[in-house]
A and B are shown apart, each in its own frame.
Chain A
């Protein structure tokens, strides 16, 4: 009796495995995000990465692994990229603009604390 029960459980596992594989193809609802959502996610990930980069840059500078000149140049480049990514995220999130004027991050302060 136990053997039969266990065999049925095993069979159920096999059928569930087949169902999990085929279900999305034949009528299952896709949980995949839309193109816009994918782009937003990628930009958010890039933003997080850039912020981490800026933080680590500061730590490297504080511990003497970057010259003043290199620190300034890299920081400027990373902050410029971060601002650009944030503008793109805003553009994706915002409803269609009434005016063509974009939010201007240039000249804004990007502040990183340690």
Chain B
């Protein structure tokens, strides 16, 4: 028996265990039966082992060129480097589903290990929900999109992975994005468990804070990687094209960010309980929708959706998830009432609510723009496209308002902001806003959006610096330490809060990069060897082209020498690669001279080997580097927030001298 025969068996056994665990989990939780509850947790471990085995076998099949499997034959070839063969597992539908299941297995196992003792009332139901999600993906893989389906014949070679995907950023992008997508399953599962058990206080919210930060972190990384891949691989000079697949990845990020903010209001003020439930259901549903959009073919056409049954399976699951969640929220609506009411519109609660509405407004605008062509085709038979101008016009003002609330939220008072509070906390940041706006106009910025970004960013930076300084000063007074030690201690003792502020700083940098891209300059020319062209401050000389060979492609390369303002020459070599095997595809490998405040970007459009002439597009992208720097800062801030020690019964607060957070002395 070939070892690969175990692949489908592992999926079938995994499915059986997942269904069994889903039943015993709910039964165990409902009856408070420890044996049934433990059996559900055991089923999580068992199902995870089965999925891991299936994934390992599929990876081995790719690496060892097992072209008897249809999925391997259509996504790999002998000439591909081993690294891309392993990454090709998630290059198609069936492997992507298996990767989804593998990541869910990892999250579910970790969640059960962390919570089964700490949250014994919620854990069995949460295990059941996680296993239900797992069962859905295993059903897709056993009945519809089968990773181990065999061909009737043995091909000599496979068709190879789409050349566009043969890029290290694209190889790492799907796992990161899936770590983000799938991670929302854990807070969703515990939210459903809280609804079933009626334990709707702060218990599940407190326990799920970190579990919500993980998917936020990976969605941030995944979207950054995807943007970077688009920037360096697609060869159109930008990083975000409002493509439906991109949009599907960013929608859960916005909804999840809203959730991360609004749970703070529930923790502090006992408000927004139903809202938080709705937000986590929405975020999880958007992750399923994102997978559905990417994998169903519905984006190309509603007819493509009808031609595959995967789309219908996904839509059915999504409908069931939403219907069951809404039903549970309605059933528990009496327990989801708020402890406190909004006392003033000028308060932190109100600012957070406004921030939530903006985040959801942006998510809704993206959803509408993404699905409008599909809806129009479904209802009228005519596909009406929605392009980047729609997204930019709607999301531009919303994003600016969001940027402003990023500064207001952290410093405005709880309950109701008095005049004294407003004066004390906003006088300096507003002065900085005005000065920055005037300076922006004085240095020549005329686009209102760019001026607003500069002014609002300065405002947010001022609020963050003011917050850090005040916290540091308070600590200096209470501890008698110097400023650096006090700042370090402040951040160290309040990692969630100050990690969040660091994320806000990262957001400012990203905004700076986006605003800079408005000033993009582009030139296109047909050049013969020895020709020169000027773009902005750059003088570019074309020194002819070459034809070169790669491991599984041939490339035409243009040699360009670039001088900025008469400075030292810099050599850039944009390429066009032709992959002869499989899909016979051509890709553009752009050349980028990237600096802190400007990117010089060159694209080789065509090359004539006979004459040496080439069509070349040159682009100058100001501030683009700040998108990647800002993303890095956001990741760093999230990691700081994630490093907050868990303060629970299982891990009680440390009782050392430095533990200032929770020391209670009963005299």
Where the two chains meet, the residues of A that have a C-beta atom closer than 8 Å to any C-beta of B are 3, 6-7, 10-11, 13-14, 16-25, 28, 30-33, 38, 40-46, 48-49, 51-53, 55-56, 59-60, 62-67, 70, 74, 82, 86, 105, 108-114
Contact = CB atoms under 8 A, between A and B. Distances in A.
Contact of A82 (B52, B661, B664): B664
A25 B124 CA distance: 14
A17 B17 contact: yes
Interface of B: 1-3, 6, 9-10, 13-14, 17, 20-21, 24, 34-39, 41-43, 45-47, 49-50, 52-53, 57, 116-118, 120-121, 202-203, 206, 267-268, 348, 411-415, 418, 420-421, 424-425, 467, 470-471, 474-475, 478-479, 493-494, 497, 647-650, 652-653, 660-667
B45 to A, nearest CB: 5
Nearest to B264: A56
A110 B49 contact: no
A21 B22 CA distance: 11
A59 B34 CA distance: 41
B46 to A, nearest CB: 4
Given A14-B10, A51-B653, A59-B494, A70 B53 contact: no
Instruction: List the 4 closest A-B pairs by CB distance, nearest first.
Output: A44-B649, A32-B34, A51-B662, A24-B38
For the residues of A in contact with B, the DSSP-based class is: helix
Nearest to B411: A65
Given A3-B3, A111-B667, A114-B475, 20 more contacts: A3-B2, A7-B1, A10-B6, A13-B49, A14-B53, A21-B45, A24-B42, A28-B42, A32-B34, A32-B37, A33-B117, A41-B649, A48-B648, A60-B414, A62-B474, A74-B414, A82-B664, A111-B663, A111-B664, A114-B474
Contacts of A56: 268, 494, 497
A66 B9 CA distance: 61
A17 B46 contact: yes
A30 B21 CA distance: 16
A14 B9 CA distance: 9
Contact of A41 (B38, B118, B420): B118
A56 B474 CA distance: 13
B165 to A, nearest CB: 29
B414 A30 contact: no
Contacts of B17: 17-18, 21
A74 B665 CA distance: 19
B46 A18 contact: yes
A101 B152 CA distance: 82
A25 B39 contact: yes
Contact of B3 (A7, A17, A28, A38): A7
B660 A13 contact: no
A44 B50 CA distance: 37
B39 A53 contact: no
Given A51-B662, A82-B664, A112-B664, A20 B118 contact: no
A41 B43 CA distance: 25
A49 to B, nearest CB: 6
A64 B52 CA distance: 52
Contacts of A66: 413-415
B413 A44 contact: no
A64 B425 contact: yes
Nearest to B207: A45
A58 B95 CA distance: 51
Contacts of A111: 663-665, 667
Contacts of A25: 24, 35-36, 39
B414 A65 contact: yes
A94 to B, nearest CB: 15
A7 to B, nearest CB: 5
B474 A7 contact: no
Given A22-B39, A24-B39, A112-B664, A67 B47 contact: no
Given A3-B2, A114-B475, A21 B39 contact: yes
Nearest to A25: B39
Nearest to A61: B474
B544 to A, nearest CB: 53
A103 to B, nearest CB: 9
Among B53, B202, B470, B662, chain A packs the most CB atoms within 10 A around the CB of B662
Contacts of B471: 59, 62-63
B42 A86 contact: no
A10 B660 contact: no
A38 B120 contact: yes
A55 B35 contact: no
16 contacts: A6-B3, A7-B2, A14-B9, A17-B45, A21-B17, A24-B39, A31-B117, A32-B37, A43-B649, A44-B649, A52-B662, A53-B267, A55-B662, A63-B471, A65-B412, A65-B414
A110 B666 contact: yes
A108 B664 CA distance: 11
Contacts of A45: 118, 203, 206, 648-649
A1 B438 CA distance: 77
Contacts of B116: 32
Among A6, A7, A48, chain B packs the most CB atoms within 10 A around the CB of A48
A48 B45 contact: no
B35 A30 contact: yes
Nearest to A13: B53
A39 B554 CA distance: 68
A30 B13 CA distance: 24
A55 B475 CA distance: 13
A88 to B, nearest CB: 13
Contact of B647 (A48, A86, A109, A113): A48
Given A48-B647, A63-B470, A70-B415, A18 B13 contact: yes
Contacts of B647: 48-49, 51-52
A41 B647 CA distance: 12
A51 B661 contact: yes
A18 B118 CA distance: 25
Nearest to A3: B3
Contacts of B1: 7
B265 to A, nearest CB: 13
Contacts of B6: 7, 10-11, 14
Contact of A110 (B43, B268, B660, B664): B664
A28 B46 CA distance: 15
Nearest to A31: B38
Contact of B13 (A14, A38, A55): A14
Contacts of A43: 649
A105 B42 contact: no
Contacts of A20: 42-43, 45-46, 49
